Amino acid sequence: MPAASGPPFLCGLGLRGAYGAALGSQRRLNVFASILPMVAATSSGSSSGSAVTSLLFLVLMVGALYMLMIRPQQRRARAQRALQQGVEEGDEVVTIGGMYGTVTEVDDDNVTIEVADNIELRFVRSAIARKLVYDDDDQSEDEAEEEPEEQEADEAT
């Protein structure tokens, strides 16, 4: 297999042989020509202002990264730890594997969950994904809406 001529980074682009080498040198000139104004701006007399601007931009980017990615993840992790530590007997939970059940026993690190009649499984606390909470208000509103309809039907007969 013949060795590729030109710089190694051009071989990955499929630019081989004399044409590739010539085209590669043209591309290198274009890259250097685009970088040259940036280098000239940083090496001019106002380098201290440019350095302060660059540093300020870097600090703002790190702050945005922290606010948008790291902080929400820490908040979710804190809420998940609180949920796992707050599990009590009688709570209905879902495990990370998708098992639904009712907590029957709680130890320091383990939780026993009843998934069906007389079927209990033991899990570590960290396997609990979420608690199931049912709103009684939603059920009572649905029942309240159904009652007038039933009364109207009784009055019509």
For residue 120, give the nearest of 108, 129, 111 by alpha carbon. Answer: 111
- Domain closes at, from 31, 61, 85: 85
Q: Is residue 106 located within the same domain as residue 157? A: yes
Question: Residue 130: is its pLDDT beyond 90?
Answer: yes
Task: Write the pLDDT tens digit of every residue in 21-68.
Answer: 555 555 555 655 666 566 555 555 555 678 888 899 999 999 999 999
The residue range of the domain holding 154 is 87-157
Q: Are residues 155 and 104 in the same domain?
A: yes
Q: What is the pLDDT of residue 75?
A: 95
For all residues of the chain together, what is the average pLDDT?
76
Domain check: are 91 and 151 in the same one? yes
What is the domain count for the chain? 3
pLDDT tens digits for 71-91?
Answer: 999 999 999 999 999 999 999
In the numeric block, the tokens 């042989």 are attached to: 17
**Token representation of residue 124:** 């570590």
Contact 59, 52 (CB under 8 A): no
Q: Please check whether residues 154 and 94 belong to one and the same domain.
A: yes
